[in-house]
Chain A
């Protein structure tokens, strides 16, 4: 097992090197650089910026150097968590920005994950044990609709309903205004919970739908197995048959799915975070891309790739624990 994990991690390193090159290549693609858009912004505000100052800034950011120099500038500090500096956030280090936002990204993704499993699995079990009943059809159709509504649209609908039907204050963000900069306290935590449910429901709806469908399909497969007939034949109670024999064996796929889903949730929340103005990595990468803040955009994208790779690895490891039939050699 330990060997297996080690080998997977070693394989990851060259992949990540390729990924970082590829990312840097795309980030460099658009013509112009941060300074161009900065100069355009300043002059649109009616101010002028001297050529001398531009040259100075260019030198400071190393913008006029060839691509490979810029790339090296970016990657050489990786081991020390130095990912260069952001342009638009006043030259703050990229790592400090990521550190500030990644926590909320993981918090939202984690809460969504729990929401999906807590809601999806019981409904999936119900649907499978009551196949073709009214409830089963009801959840199937609802699940299909949940899968079909784009997340950002659901966010807009929820904001609309919350504001005009229930008279809730603005639902964007994760905190009310007075708590944004306040230190952590119980009141702030409660305020967070009051805001957290919106992104969780928005992000979790489509995932819950697929948990329901996967759970239903798997449980139905397992319920057709001969050992289930045997369990029933030897007189076990129906609840014991379902929960102890069937559900346990149907859970594998959900566990694997959940592990791969977590990093996807972090990157998948990008659009929703922008719409709901959540303090996560989503709006950061969006504004970084728009203003060509290349080190910041590249690093956030790289982080999301790393999370994806690590998530897949964790999913494989956990699956090995849950299902002893799987061998890693």
Chain B
């Protein structure tokens, strides 16, 4: 009888003892402990959801211009009026012209209440580029709803920011992806093959590293022909941003591959007759992958910044496409910011995007090495 109880205890102990976690689980556990990283990750996901469903969330489309409401100020959503709680609405605009400066002036028109119509049927757009629909998350049946104001062409700034984010955020994802592919291929070849090949690749990397980044970006962007379509320009900008990004990654991969190559498990794989390609694909790259992804994530903020700077200077994305940098062109001088401070809101989106990618990258960097304290 007594022995039985002991046996039960042993089994209980085994079940209660900490289970053995895989490397991935360890990383996830470590990542979760970094609060800023988790917050960054959540906001990044929200950002991408925002741009993926951009056409649906934005109340208007890029083509819609309201020439009678140029640079109209933002409007708050109200849920209280004189009589108390009502359905959400925004106040209308009463436009007038300053007789001296010929500036357009807008006043709050308390008499006009534009009630928000959820799942509003507005202008037609292509949902995720797949099928046409006219369903928007919200809109107004009469009057206007410009929650962030309008730009100098009478376009709704909220719509432009959401749809411009599609360009800004996708570029900052594609750029590192290209860097990642080029960097890991050349880095692996360099580190695994060694010898003359390694030497040549290292010289090429040094060559690219001796260029100052921003002037080279400017030069390459200026070299994009003016007659190109905006889509080709977009691809061109992605390539330009990835142009210098791969060198650091290639160096890192090379170092990692060189140290992994000496590990026992590689020797075991060689002894059991694996080919070089098999070893690279099954043993070396998976082991270097986590650090690779981290480095790529850490390079996203500078890509966002690069795109914004180029577009801001008029060398980047061109109409009819728009991006956060393009939108900031209208806020280029103190005068326009002073008169229409809401034109500066795209800047806020850029800052927040860079901030959360920094947080996320920092969190991932700590998590990539789960065995360090």
Contact = CB atoms under 8 A, between A and B. Distances in A.
A67 interface: no
A10 interface: no
Interface in B303-339: 305, 308-309, 312-313, 315, 328, 331-332, 334, 337-338
B222 interface: yes
A71 interface: no
A301 interface: yes
Contacts of B354: 147-150
A163 B355 CA distance: 27
7 contacts: A15-B206, A152-B312, A153-B350, A163-B334, A286-B313, A301-B216, A308-B211
B308 A150 contact: yes
Contacts, number: 109
B355 A300 contact: no
B214 interface: yes
Given A145-B355, A148-B351, A308 B210 contact: yes
Given A144-B358, A153-B351, A30 B210 contact: no
Contacts of B359: 144
Nearest to A307: B212
Contact of B219 (A275, A301, A307): A301
Given A153-B350, A163-B338, A267-B212, A148 B358 contact: yes
B55 interface: no
A102 interface: no
Contacts of B220: 26
Prevailing SS type, chain A contact patch: helix
B301 interface: yes
Contact of B338 (A144, A164, A263): A164
Interface string B128-162: 00000000000000000000000000000000000
A82 B328 CA distance: 39
Interface size, B (range): 35 or more
Contact of B355 (A144, A152, A164, A307): A144
B210 A19 contact: yes
A16 to B, nearest CB: 8
B84 interface: no
Q: Which of B216, B332, B350 has most A Cβ within 10 Å?
A: B216
Interface in B334-366: 334, 337-338, 344, 347, 350-351, 354-355, 358-359
B225 interface: yes
Interface of B: 206-207, 210-216, 218-220, 222-226, 301, 305, 308-309, 312-313, 315, 328, 331-332, 334, 337-338, 344, 347, 350-351, 354-355, 358-359
Interface size, A (range): 35 or more
Nearest to A25: B223
Contact of A274 (B219, B313, B344, B358): B313
Contacts of A264: 212-213
Given A15-B206, A268-B214, A271-B214, A156 B331 contact: yes
Contacts of B351: 145, 148-150, 153
Nearest to B221: A289
Given A163-B334, A164-B338, A297-B219, A308 B212 contact: yes
A285 B219 CA distance: 9
A270 B213 CA distance: 10
B370 to A, nearest CB: 20
Contacts of A19: 207, 210-211
Contact of A147 (B212, B313, B350, B358): B358
Nearest to B225: A31
